[in-house]
Amino acid sequence: MFGFGDFWVAAAYLLCILSTALCVVYGLMHWNDDEEIPAAVHPPDENLDFEETI
């Protein structure tokens, strides 16, 4: 296939292109899937009081 000497290399070549196509199609399908930035649970400059016992 495609002049390669081995099925696995031909598969890798094809899968590189298909993976890119997957990313492009998925990106287009979710173009407007939004999830606005949530309000921070911790205010930006809060001095967090962590319990360190593990």
Residues engaged in binding another protein (CB under 8 A): 2-6, 8-9, 12-13, 15-17, 19-20, 22-24, 26-28, 30-38, 40-48, 50-52, 54
Which alpha helices (H) appear in 1-54, and where do they start and end? 7-29
Give the C-alpha separation, 3 to 45, whole Å.
60
CB of 21 to another protein, least distance (A): 9
Give the C-alpha separation, 9 to 2, whole Å.
10
CB of 46 to another protein, least distance (A): 8
